[in-house]
Amino acid sequence: MNLNINLKAENTYDAIVVGSGISGGWAAKELTEKGLKVLLLERGMNIEHIKDYDSAMKNPWDIKHAGRLTEEMKRTHPVQKRDYPYNEATEKWWVNDLECPYTEVKRFDWYRGFHVGGKSLMWGRQSYRLGDLNFSENAKDGFGNDWPIRYKDLSPWYDYVEKFAGISGQNEGLHEVLPDGHFLPPMDLNIVEKSVKESIKQKWGNERLLTIGRTANLTVPHNGRGSCQYRNLCSRGCPFGAYFSTQSSTLPAAMDTGNLTLRPYSIVNHIIYDKDTKKAKGVMVIDALTNKTMEFYSKIIFVNGSTLGTTFILLNSTSDAHPNGLGNASGQLGHNLMDHHFRCGANGDFDGFDKFYTYGRRANGFYVPRFRNVGKDKRDYLRGFGYQGSASRQNWQNDIAELSFGADFKEKMTRPGKWRMGFGGFGEMLPYYENRVYIDHSKKDKWGQSVLAIDCEYKENEKKMRIDMMNDAAEMLEAAGAKNIKTYDNDCYPGMAIHEMGTARMGKDPKTSVLNEWNQVHEVKNVFVTDGASMPSIGCQNPSLTFMALTARAADHAVNELKKGNL
């Protein structure tokens, strides 16, 4: 008996944070800095900053298969292998799909990383605020439910997270579609991008704009972290700490408080609900190494297990009071799954810049903020898209004859080739109730848990938008004098952008949403969800900065409520 009581005391904290990725890291930092004793649970292995970035300093010739996947890697990673992020130099970050299967009712590429830092180590680092337009469109066109907050509610929190994370970029004064922020000096556009920027300005005036990408790469030293060294090897982990990750930024801050306990290999299976207090009292954890189960207890719980990871935990937390998942009286939990659609745009060649090359490998590109369905513009689809891309001088010369070989071939392969520029659209997907996930009990993962089934597809609105995504890009290239312009649509399936969101949406009304305006579960007020699951709509901007801001805001509210005795 004594033993149990001691165990319970030992396993009790002020707050539990589930997941150590971008939003979980922020939750841990904010809550510990406000004095709470926090247990940060991570389902995967520990990754120590710098020390565990095994491939970060490897030269090309140190990578055994020149980055290519072996047959064994393909066999164990049948989903991760579908796209480029999983390669020989980054394989450590990506899950073994055989251990954690899921059911694809329709094709959905689910990219996951189980380790401390989560996708904060693997992310693309593009960091954009949502604008006024994004927060109001659901209410305006009737797709999805209205956001319970507006830009003004989140704006101070964007300021707060940008200042800490270190985002480089250029203010452009586009309040509606891409609000300004607190940026470190911008990276440079190259000579071709600058020329295209000027051409776009001449032709479209203020309607269209090309700017340097806003990225969580430091252009000057910041908060004790080193600046970007222009190696463009971010995906291996940065030995200079030059991009924002849990390891480089939020975890050391949380550790410094002395209030953090980090427990890797801890799979949260469900949240334990107390029917007497009508609150959550803790979580049930499966130790990923031993398969032993254990319980941890706390006053508040932040669920930051990634959009679908979080949704699984909530759906799997059933009780008499919550038979369809924790806080799912609305029936919206698991529904409204969204992802950006991309792999669509245009590219072209540029003459006249042969005297110039680039030095350094810029881990960033340009950005063209949304201009469709903005102001007076009106299309035959809703919402819009932005562009990302870059101009670069190619290695491979086009005048190499097909299948040629020998000294000539070698010589040409070692000379800079022509300038080429590509525009890739990132389009907003609408929230559709029928795009959903649910638990499939017929299949089990390595740890004996049931798995998620994913039933999600793009629809007509997305398909129509893709035509503009190709044509508008070609039009801008043409205006800038590009040659050999080609549009492309390389097919896109949900999940590919790794921006999955929306399955536990915020809203004003508990009847139609899972979370309130503070990311609190309507029905279980001491549970907070601040990752991508909480998003009622997704804009066309890369979303991670918004998760950071929502998390910091929710953590502030949670601690205030806790102090008032409301939780």
Partner 1 sequence: MDRREALRNVAILLGTAISAGTTDILFSSYTLPESEKNAVNFSAEQLKTLTEIADVIIPTTKSSGGAKAAGVGKFIPMMITDCYPAKQQQSFYNGLAAFEARTKKTYGKSFALIPLAERRKMLTTLRQETLDQKTNKIPEKVDLAYFFTTVRDLTSLGYFSSEIGCTKAREYVLIPGSYDGAYPLKPGQKSWAT
Which residues sit at the interface with partner 1, rule CB under 8 A? Answer: 44-46, 52, 59-61, 63-72, 75-76, 92, 96, 114-115, 187-191, 193-194, 229-232, 264-265, 288-290, 354-362, 393, 395, 402-407, 409-411, 413-417
How near is the Cβ of 362 to partner 1 at its closest, in Å? 5
How near is the Cβ of 40 to partner 1 at its closest, in Å? 13
What span, in angstroms and rounded, lies between the C-alpha atoms of 562 and 567? 5
What span, in angstroms and rounded, lies between the C-alpha atoms of 455 and 336? 10
| Six token digits for residue 111 | 């990219």
DSSP state, residue 84: T
What span, in angstroms and rounded, lies between the C-alpha atoms of 254 and 260? 6
Residues 6+ apart with CB under 8 A from 241: 49, 50, 225, 226, 247, 248, 249
DSSP state, residue 302: E
473 contacts 345 by C-beta, under 8 angstroms = yes
How near is the Cβ of 193 to partner 1 at its closest, in Å? 7
**Paired sense of beta strands 279-287 and 293-303, if any:** antiparallel
| C-alpha atoms less than 13 angstroms from C-alpha of 563 in its C-beta half-sphere | 10
How near is the Cβ of 117 to partner 1 at its closest, in Å? 13
Beta strands in 456-535, from DSSP E residues, in sequence order: 483-489, 520-521, 524-529
How near is the Cβ of 23 to partner 1 at its closest, in Å? 22
40 contacts 262 by C-beta, under 8 angstroms = yes
- Residue closer to partner 1 by CB (options 193, 428) is 193
How near is the Cβ of 19 to partner 1 at its closest, in Å? 16
**Paired sense of beta strands 38-41 and 260-263, if any:** parallel
How near is the Cβ of 488 to partner 1 at its closest, in Å? 23
What span, in angstroms and rounded, lies between the C-alpha atoms of 567 and 559? 9
What span, in angstroms and rounded, lies between the C-alpha atoms of 510 and 194? 49
How near is the Cβ of 549 to partner 1 at its closest, in Å? 28
The arrangement of strands across the sheet holding 385-393 comes to 211-212, 366-368, 385-393, 419-427, 344-350, 483-489
Q: Burial of 2 by CB count in 10 Å (0-12 exposed, 13-18 middle, 19+ buried)?
A: exposed
